[in-house]
Each structure stands twice: as structure tokens, then as C-alpha cells.
Amino acid sequence: MPHYFDHAATTPMREAAKRIWLEHASALNPGGQYASGRKARSVLDSAREEIATLLGCDPIEVIFCASGTEADNLALQGLWRRSGGTIAASGIEHPAVLETVRGLEHQGAAVRWLPVSSKGEVHEFESTIQGVDLITCMWANNETGALQPVQQICDAAGDAPVHVDAVQAVGHVPVDFHALGATTLAASAHKFGGPRGLGILLAKRSPAPSPVLFGGGQERGIRPGTNDVAAAAATAAALKEAVAEMEAESQRLRSLQTRLLDVVASIENTQIHTPDHCLPGHVHASFLGAEADSLIMLLDSQGFEASTGSACSNGVNRASEVLLSMGVPVANARSAIRFSLGYTTTTADVEALIRALPDVVARARLAGMA
């Protein structure tokens, strides 16, 4: 079995989620008015209620869709459709948000970029959000794991709707939608042990995103289409387990993270990108003089699975936009890889990585930069 260090990309499905998934695999259309439709409906309703309780919102505010990417698109495109005008966004957003904002820019949106510190944290945002029509900020960065000041942004937003991409946060840190006061929030089941292909959009009753997809009116008309009942039920089961284990798991991962960070820091010429205020499972660093692709391939050949964490690279080693926004030089950004730990990561996995890493870095450095 390989040592898996890419939990922030996707985490294995939890056994509890698999069981529920199989149990409801034959569920039919929850919109059907007959007995099997009502049965499917009641499973879907229970999943919605469970998720609402776990995320601090009302069941009606839970919109099931197909991915975190779709949830971000439905929220941002839908909210911008209501008001038009100026959007405030940070340059460290995942492409699901960044490319959506850029797409809206082509449709006439004015965009203001929120300042980002060298630690990868949005900061000094107050003047940038003054008078804007829509604000978007992620809860935690997918590459560095840096936690963002989403509560402060929601508190300072005034009447402007706020979308929070919480795809990396849900199931890993406590999330309470009502306490946060955001307008919309995106989550994705496969980041906390649910199935891939199930996104969650939390959307306040008002202002609600205008529809960008049209059809049968399911999910308040914000995400029409026949629901995947089994995936929704499995997602609720995964989130329940992730939330129940959160405190203990966070402490366990934090100590593995500290151990790994210490070893990475002891390798000469490294630059650590994960700040102190971060998710417990991320270790993101540049090994200067080594190409990220070489590091990933050498690690893979020894049974360690890690990635750059930069979703837009798509197999091509381009410098991460997140790191460039933080002021990291291009050459350093091209030497960056992310180890992300999760609920299946053991002490033995981390110790094996620690034994292998110095030699892998030395060999990648010998190969040099392309």
C-alpha cells in the first residue's frame, strides 16, 4: 500500500459512508409521488437535516450539487447575476473561484483583489471591500492550509453578500453557517470522506443566488436535476463521523504535522509555506533547486503519493498562483510540493516519509531545474 499524502486533493471514502451509500444505492427519484419516491425523499430529507445540524444552518439552506467547483460557480455566478457590479476576491482562491471571478470579469464585473500577506493570509481588506457588491474569500487555502479571516470579512461586509469557499475547511474545523453570517458557503463531500461528485452549497434564503442552471426546480431552483440520494446520505454519514472525530483528529494530525514540518525545516535550502495559523493536515514547502515534478516522481517510485496541491497545474509544472500571490519567487514556487495528512495517515506513514525525504530531495536537486 502506498503512503498517501494527498488528502487535501481527495480523501478515501469512510467505511460508514460506503455502508450508507450501498444501503441506498437503489433509491429512486425523490421527486416521485408514489411510495418509492416518498421513501427516497425521506432519505434525502434526513441527509439534508443531518448536514444542516452539523453545519449550523436550516435544512432549506442546504443545496446538493455535484462538486465544490459547482457550488462555487452556482454561488458566485448566481449572486453576481442579482446585482452585477464590483467583486472583491483574493488571488489565493482555488481555480473554482478564481476562474469564475475572471469569467465574470469578462462579462463586465469590476474586480478588486484582496491583499495577501507573505504568510498567505488575506489581510488589511477593509478598504478593498468598501462599497463592493460581492465578496468571496476561502476559509482555508488548499495549498498552504492557511486559515483566512472569514469571520472578520463577514462582520465587515455590511450589506454586500459574502461567499465562502469552505471546501478545505468543512469536516476539519468547526463550521457554523449562521454564526459566520455568510450568504453562501461551498463544501465538497470527497474532502471529508464522503463520495466524490457530491457538492454542498449552503445558501441563505435571501439574498439567494439567481439560477444559472434551469430545469425541474429541485434544490430551490438553484440546482435543478434529479438528486443522487445515496451520495447525499453517504455525505451526511461521512460528515457526522468527521465532526465527531474532529477534536481528537485535529490534535493527532497537528502533532504529525509538527514532526514533519521540523524535519522539512532541517533540510537545507527549504522554504516552508504553511503558516502557524493553518489546518492541521497541511505541510507545503519548496525544496530550492529541485523541480516539483522530480520530487513527486521520485517519491512515487518509493511509494509516497503527494502533489503540488496546485489544481491548475494539470500535469504541467507551472508556478502556483497562490505562491506567486504571496510574493514567492517563480523558481521557488516551481520547487513546491504539498504533503497533506488525513484520517488514514498513521505515525508509521510520517516516519517512513521522514526517512525517505532527505535522499529524495538530494536526488531531485542533482537532476536540477528544467
Q: CA-to-CA distance for 231 and 20, rounded, in angstroms?
A: 9
- Is residue 96 at the binding interface for ligand PLP, with CB under 6 A as the rule? yes
Long-range CB pairs of 114-120, under 8 A, 24+ apart, other chains included? 114/88, 114/89, 114/90, 116/90, 116/91, 116/92, 116/325, 116/326, 117/326, 118/326, 118/327, 119/146, 119/275, 119/277, 119/326, 120/92, 120/144, 120/146, 120/273, 120/275, 120/322, 120/325, 120/326
- Residue closer to ligand PLP (CB basis): 186 or 261: 186
Contact with ligand PLP (CB under 6 A) among 55, 104, 132, 167: 167
Closest separation in Å from C-beta 121 to ligand PLP: 15
Cβ-contact 277, 123 below 8 angstroms: no
- Is residue 7 at the binding interface for ligand PLP, with CB under 6 A as the rule? no
- Residue closer to ligand PLP (CB basis): 253 or 360: 253
Please report how many Cα atoms fall inside a 13 Å half-sphere around the Cα of residue 106, on the Cβ side.
5
User: Which cell goes with 69?
Assistant: 467547483
Closest separation in Å from C-beta 100 to ligand PLP: 10
Contact with ligand PLP (CB under 6 A) among 67, 73, 136, 320: 67
- Is residue 332 at the binding interface for ligand PLP, with CB under 6 A as the rule? no
- Residue closer to ligand PLP (CB basis): 138 or 154: 138
Which secondary structure element, helix H or strand E, spans residue 4, and what is its range?
strand 3-4
The 10 Å Cβ neighbour count of residue 158 is 11
- Is residue 308 at the binding interface for ligand PLP, with CB under 6 A as the rule? no
Q: Report the residue number whose CB is nearest to ligand PLP.
A: 68
Which secondary structure element, helix H or strand E, spans residue 64, and what is its range?
strand 62-65
Residue 276 CB contacts under 8 Å (≥ 6 apart), including other chains: none
- Is residue 94 at the binding interface for ligand PLP, with CB under 6 A as the rule? yes
Please give the size of the binding site for ligand PLP, defined by CB under 6 A.
14
Q: CA-to-CA distance for 272 and 296, rounded, in angstroms?
A: 17
User: Which cell goes with 290?
Assistant: 529541485
- Is residue 90 at the binding interface for ligand PLP, with CB under 6 A as the rule? no
DSSP assignment letter at 166: -
Active site annotation includes 312: yes
- Is residue 307 at the binding interface for ligand PLP, with CB under 6 A as the rule? no
- Is residue 306 at the binding interface for ligand PLP, with CB under 6 A as the rule? no
- Is residue 68 at the binding interface for ligand PLP, with CB under 6 A as the rule? yes
- Is residue 282 at the binding interface for ligand PLP, with CB under 6 A as the rule? no
Closest separation in Å from C-beta 220 to ligand PLP: 20
SS (H, E, C) 191-212: HCCCCCCCEEEEECCCCCCCCC
Question: Which residues partner with 6 through β-bridges?
Answer: 340
Q: CA-to-CA distance for 158 and 174, rounded, in angstroms?
A: 24
- Scanning the structure block, which residue is given the C-alpha cell 426546480? 217
- Residue closer to ligand PLP (CB basis): 8 or 364: 8
- Is residue 184 at the binding interface for ligand PLP, with CB under 6 A as the rule? no
Residue 213 CB contacts under 8 Å (≥ 6 apart), including other chains: 74, 223, 224, 225
Per-position x/- string for 110-149, each x denoting binding to ligand PLP as judged by CB under 6 A, each - no binding: ----------------------------x---x-------
- Is residue 65 at the binding interface for ligand PLP, with CB under 6 A as the rule? no
- Is residue 365 at the binding interface for ligand PLP, with CB under 6 A as the rule? no
**Stretch near ligand PLP under the rule CB under 6 A, chosen from 114-122, 148-156, 164-172, 245-253:** 164-172
Closest separation in Å from C-beta 9 to ligand PLP: 6
- Residue closer to ligand PLP (CB basis): 67 or 286: 67
Which residues make up the interface to ligand PLP (CB under 6 A)? 67-69, 72, 94, 96, 138, 142, 165, 167-168, 188, 199, 311
The residues annotated with a catalytic role in the active site are 312
